[in-house]
Copies of this chain bind each other. A is one copy, B any other.
Amino acid sequence: MSITNGSPRPRATMREVAELSGTSLKTVSRVINNEGYVSEELVKRVHDAAEKLEYRPNFSAGALRRNDGKTKTIGLLLENISNPFSSGLHRSIEEVARKRGVVVFAGSLDEDEERERELTEAFIARRVDGLIIVPTGGDQSYLLPERKAGTALLFIDRPPAKFQGDVVVSTNKEGARQATAHLITYGHKRIAYIGDYATITTGAERLSGYRQALAEAGIRVEDELILQGFHNSEDAEIAVKELFARKNPPTAIFASQNLVTMGAIRALRRLKLQHKIALVGFDDIAEADLLDPPVTLVTQDVFAMGATAAELLFQRLDGDDSPFHHLEIETTLTIRGSGEIRPE
């Protein structure tokens, strides 16, 4: 038997702390939870015993009996934890949760409906107080029993399908409209739309903003210029290359998502078109200002989204039962160069 483990000595319980300190279970509970009404001397004896026994409260056991049943735990269902958008949300939610002593489960869905249900089930089985979800394309009606049982639910980035609930999203349509209108201002009429899976609702919103901008400018929407279904930068790069192999290519690109934007940038470079074809992307890119040309982007306020979502969730947990909120966080168009190239 090595130093590594040893047969674990089971953790001390309140009962054992009570025995060692010569008092009762309930008094230990009072001391550990700072309830007061315990003499100074007993408080000290209990603390000493707890330390000696290396006592660690079992918060989950307490939750079982506690009246509110709260576990001070929430679950986060994100698209992909390692994507900067997801991890930005995660960080800002963590910040709010931390102030309340709430701890955060997180998991990636990868646009997989089944994974969404499995993870939800796993979190519910551990009795999280609330769930913050970036819903996949499917159907969120399976969450109804969880709501009825009192689990707080909040949807972020996209609204749920076949279900109602609090939602925090970006102004996707307006942001995309603005981006497209910006390109039109610079004289473009043939603007390609490169998008993620068509099932993702943010994509639909952005596409609709793109269409609106064209309509407002009296430009006909050309379906051949609308390319969707790219969920990583490699696929987007290939698609953009193919686009410019056509006889009548566009003079500008609106890329509806960060990975897609990266793919478009790589494609334009490889074709040496980066200074000829205008590009505006949706979502932030780490070094947008350092690229050549610097990339004009519509960015989401990820921090505000996460913080707003978490605040609203906790408000619900605090008993707010006003009608569902649909909060929109504004996007920002940052002009840097790639979007201000005029058609030749």
Contacts and interface: CB of A to CB of B under 8 A. Distances in A.
Interface string A124-143: 11110000000000000000
Contact of A5 (B3, B54, B94, B321): B321
A108 B11 CA distance: 27
Contacts of A265: 290
Interface in A65-92: 71, 73, 80-84, 86-88, 90-91
A103 B123 contact: yes
B91 A3 contact: no
A87 B94 contact: no
Contact of A2 (B56, B71, B146, B322): B322
A285 interface: yes
A208 interface: no
B316 A287 contact: no
A294 B83 CA distance: 22
A91 B80 contact: yes
A10 B266 contact: no
Interface residues of A, number: 72
Contact of A148 (B54, B86, B127): B54
Given A4-B322, A105-B104, A269 B286 contact: no
A323 B3 CA distance: 7
B125 A58 contact: yes
A149 interface: yes
A324 B3 contact: yes
A245 interface: no
A87 to B, nearest CB: 4
Interface string A95-108: 00010010111111
A2 B147 CA distance: 13
A71 B58 CA distance: 12
A105 B103 contact: yes
B104 A323 contact: no
Interface in A262-289: 262, 265-266, 269, 285-287
Interface of A: 1-6, 8-11, 54, 56-61, 63-64, 71, 73, 80-84, 86-88, 90-91, 94, 98, 101, 103-108, 119, 121-127, 145-150, 164, 166, 262, 265-266, 269, 285-287, 290-292, 316, 320-324
Those 5 A-B pairs whose CB atoms lie nearest each other, nearest first: A8-B150, A82-B91, A59-B125, A54-B145, A5-B321
